[in-house]
């Protein structure tokens, strides 16, 4: 069965995902049992060059028409930001279309409204790519660790700031200097505000905390401090103490039972599991009384890695829409169904 996909946005992540969906359509179908067809792509500028190869009539500048089009089964949202992404996601869910998104700001801010809308029409919304790029952490937290009474979730969840702090520590650079280099290499945006202020990390910490503790932790409840005021001297002083400064997002349950979440530059001993995580790598640390200490490490950003996580979600969403079946890697049929029936 062909599952018809509508994609909202075709920037870095969207472009990478559409390129894979188009170029690897047969390979994906053979491996997953799901035939994913990119039916429509909503973009702002119809005249712009695109990295993917699609007939011209697949592109449109009318996002709402894509979302409500009865000829589309699943919506992928890669516009980013709160609006118009939020209203489009809600419109898609209301018209009975599952949604895959990597939009951490939207999930952190309007997750409740979005999941309630999905519940009402009985479809799903998946966002594995919203935290940690290609690192699977949403599904492990939400499912594998659903039996664990988690004590702490913490991590390096922003690659840009980790790149800057690593360059400051390893090369003795000043903050501004390291930021300029990150921008030159494409690791920081022209306007790096959301990264260096800790805002991006706060969205991700909000999502991780909500999943880990089973209750809503809004982004504005995450006490947030960025790295703008970290100086070369701070980094050198930490190094002299045998420590490393990292921007850490963390959440734990306080003595009063409330979840305390924060994002802040933290000085870690060199043997701390997060101290050795350098460059744009992300790492998420989860600790619980039964499961002990778990660490997930990988590339936390980049179009390819994020697109890979979104493709995983898309395959799940597309498969689950059909009649329940059980298949297994062990009998040569699609592996994702090992866990489903």
Site for its own copies in 319-338 (CB under 8 A): 320, 324-332, 334-336, 338
Which residue in the set 1, 11, 119, 231 belongs to the binding site for its own copies (CB under 8 A)?
119
131 lies in the site for its own copies, by CB under 8 A = no
Site for its own copies in 8-37 (CB under 8 A): 16, 20, 24, 27-28, 31-32
For 331, phi then psi, to 5°, come to -115, 20
Sequence-distant (6+) residues with CB within 8 A of 203 are: 104, 105, 107, 108, 109, 219
Q: Compute, in degrees rounded to 10, the torsion defined by CA atoms 250, 253, 254, 260.
A: 40
Cα 52 to Cα 280: distance, rounded to the nearest angstrom: 26
142/232 with CB nearer its own copies: 142
Report strand pairing: 152-156 vs 125-126.
unpaired
- Chain centroid offset of residue 95 CA: 24
Total residue count of the chain as it appears in this document: 341
Q: For residue 293, how many C-alpha atoms fall within 13 Å in the half-sphere facing its CB?
A: 7
Among the options 97, 104, 204, 246, which is catalytic?
204
* Token pair listed for 334: 């699609």
- Give the shortest CB-66-to-its own copies separation in angstroms: 21
Smallest CA-to-CA distance from 249 within 282, 293, 202 is with: 202
Site for its own copies in 75-104 (CB under 8 A): 98
134 lies in the site for its own copies, by CB under 8 A = yes
151/264 with CB nearer its own copies: 151
Residue 204 annotated as catalytic: yes
- Chain centroid offset of residue 122 CA: 23
183/304 with CB nearer its own copies: 304
Binding mask 239-278 toward its own copies (x if CB under 8 A, else -) reads ----------------------------------x-----
122 lies in the site for its own copies, by CB under 8 A = yes
Which residue in the set 37, 148, 151, 260 belongs to the binding site for its own copies (CB under 8 A)?
148
Report strand pairing: 259-269 vs 243-253.
antiparallel
238/307 with CB nearer its own copies: 307
Binding mask 153-192 toward its own copies (x if CB under 8 A, else -) reads ----------------------------------------
Which residue in the set 3, 5, 90, 138 belongs to the binding site for its own copies (CB under 8 A)?
138
- Give the shortest CB-57-to-its own copies separation in angstroms: 26
User: What value, to the nearest 5°, has the Cα angle with vertex 117 and ends 114 and 118?
Assistant: 85
* Token pair listed for 226: 């960025």
- Chain centroid offset of residue 211 CA: 14
Residues marked active site are found at 204
């Amino acid at each position: 069965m062909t599952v018809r996909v509508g994609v909202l946005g075709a920037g870095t992540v969207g472009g990478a995902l559409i390129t894979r969906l188009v170029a690897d359509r047969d390979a994906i179908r053979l491996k997953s049992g799901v035939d994913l067809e990119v039916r429509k792509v909503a973009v702002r500028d119809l005249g712009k060059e695109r990295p993917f190869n699609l007939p011209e009539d697949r592109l449109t500048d009318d996002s709402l028409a894509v979302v409500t089009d009865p000829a589309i089964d699943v919506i992928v949202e890669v516009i980013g930001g709160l609006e118009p992404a939020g209203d489009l996601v809600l419109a898609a869910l209301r018209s009975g279309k599952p949604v895959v998104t990597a939009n951490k700001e939207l999930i952190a801010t309007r997750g409740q409204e979005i999941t309630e809308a999905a519940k009402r029409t009985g479809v799903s919304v998946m966002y594995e790519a919203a935290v940690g790029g290609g690192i699977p952490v949403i599904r492990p937290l939400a499912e594998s660790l659903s039996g664990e009474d988690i004590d702490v979730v913490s991590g390096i969840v922003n690659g840009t700031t980790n790149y800057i702090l690593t360059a400051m520590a390893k090369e003795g650079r000043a903050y501004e200097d390291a930021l300029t280099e990150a921008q030159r290499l494409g690791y920081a945006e022209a306007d790096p505000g959301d990264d260096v202020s800790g805002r991006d990390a706060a969205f991700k910490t909000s999502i991780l905390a909500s999943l880990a503790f089973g209750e809503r932790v809004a982004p504005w409840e995450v006490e947030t401090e960025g790295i703008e005021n970290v100086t070369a001297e701070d980094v050198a002083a930490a190094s002299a103490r045998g420590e490393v400064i990292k921007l850490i997002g963390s959440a734990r349950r306080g003595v009063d039972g409330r979840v305390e979440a924060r994002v802040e530059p933290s000085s870690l001993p060199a043997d701390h599991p997060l101290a050795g995580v350098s460059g744009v790598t992300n790492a998420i640390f989860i600790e619980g009384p039964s499961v002990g200490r778990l660490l997930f490490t990988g590339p936390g950003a980049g179009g390819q890695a994020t697109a890979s996580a979104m493709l995983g979600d898309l395959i799940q969403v597309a498969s689950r829409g059909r009649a329940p079946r059980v298949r297994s890697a062990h009998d040569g049929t699609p592996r994702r169904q090992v866990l489903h029936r």
